[in-house]
């Protein structure tokens, strides 16, 4: 399991740019960013180096930021890579709350998943490893 930085943003012009600038000023390097948005607000989920420090620096500057545990899983960068992964969880009836993918190296992609019931997270990770998936540590993403 790895730490993900989550930031609450109002859906107004320039907020995302300001957030990215604040992260840059804090010397935080992002690996992936995804936004779940509504007309009024957005929830920005970020994979970055040192999420705890990023959170503290953002909080101090008045942003609402938090750190959440998510699973980072390596999948083959080919058609059906994610389908195989989700199939394992579906067979086990472990619902996924949200997920997103990013490709880092040529033949491998990384999927980020948050399972709906946090107490099932460990079981999900264990089952995925048993099924042959590589679950990444913070330093590996």
Partner 1 sequence: MARKDDVLTMGRDQIAALQLEGIKKTVICCYENVPFYKRSFDEAGFDPYGVKSLDDLRKAPFVTKQDLRDNYPYGMLAVPMEDVREIHMSSGTTGVATVGAYTDHDLDFWGDCFARGISYAGCGRGDVCQICYGYGLFTGGLGAHYGSLASGATTIPISAGNTERQIRVLREMGSTILCCTPSYAMHIADSAIAMGLDPVRDFNLKVGIHGAEAFSDGFRAQLEQKFGYKVLDVYGLTETMGPGVAVECLEQDGLHIAEDHFYCEIVDPETGEPLPDGEWGELVVTTLDREASPVVRYRTRDITRIVPGTCACGRTHRRIDRLHGRTDDMLIIRGVNVFPSQIENVMREFDQVSSWYQIELTTSNSLDVVTLKAEVDPRFDFDSTGAIDQLQKSIQARLKTALSVGVRVRLVEPMSISRSEGKAKRVIDLRG
CA distance 131 to 82: 13
The residues near 23 (Cβ < 8 Å, ≥ 6 apart) are: 30, 46, 48, 54, 58
Q: Cβ closer to partner 1: 92 or 96?
A: 96
Sole window of 32-40, 84-92, 102-110, 123-131 interacting with partner 1 (rule: CB under 8 A): 32-40
Which residue shows structure tokens 């980072």? 72
C-beta of 131: minimal distance to partner 1 in Å? Answer: 25
Q: Which is nearer to partner 1, 41 or 122 (CB)?
A: 41
Beta carbon of residue 97, minimum distance to partner 1 (angstroms, whole number): 6
How far apart, in whole angstroms, are the C-alpha atoms of residue 38 and residue 11? 7
Q: What backbone torsions phi and psi does residue 53 show, to the nearest 5 degrees?
A: -70, -40
Minimum CB–partner distance for residue 123 and partner 1 (Å): 19
Query: What residue spans of 1-141 are helical by DSSP H?
Result: 15-25, 51-60, 81-91, 121-130
**Contact flags string 46-75 toward partner 1, x per CB under 8 A:** -------------x--xxx-x-x-------
Summarize as ranges the residues that interact with partner 1 (CB under 8 A).
4, 6, 8-10, 36, 38, 40-41, 43, 45, 59, 62-64, 66, 68, 97-98, 114
């Amino acid at each position: 399991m790895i730490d993900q930085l989550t930031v609450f943003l109002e859906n107004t012009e320039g907020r995302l740019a300001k957030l990215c600038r604040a992260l840059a000023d804090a010397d935080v390097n992002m690996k992936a960013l995804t936004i779940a948005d509504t007309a009024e607000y957005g929830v920005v989920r970020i994979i970055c180096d040192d999420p705890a420090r990023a959170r503290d620096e953002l909080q101090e500057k008045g942003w609402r930021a938090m750190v959440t545990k998510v699973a980072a899983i390596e999948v083959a960068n080919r058609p059906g890579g994610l389908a195989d992964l989700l199939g394992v969880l579906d067979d086990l009836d472990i619902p996924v709350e949200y997920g997103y993918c990013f490709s880092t190296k040529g033949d491998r992609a990384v999927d980020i998943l948050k399972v709906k019931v946090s107490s099932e997270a460990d079981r999900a990770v264990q089952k995925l490893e048993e099924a042959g998936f590589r679950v990444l540590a913070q330093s590996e993403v």
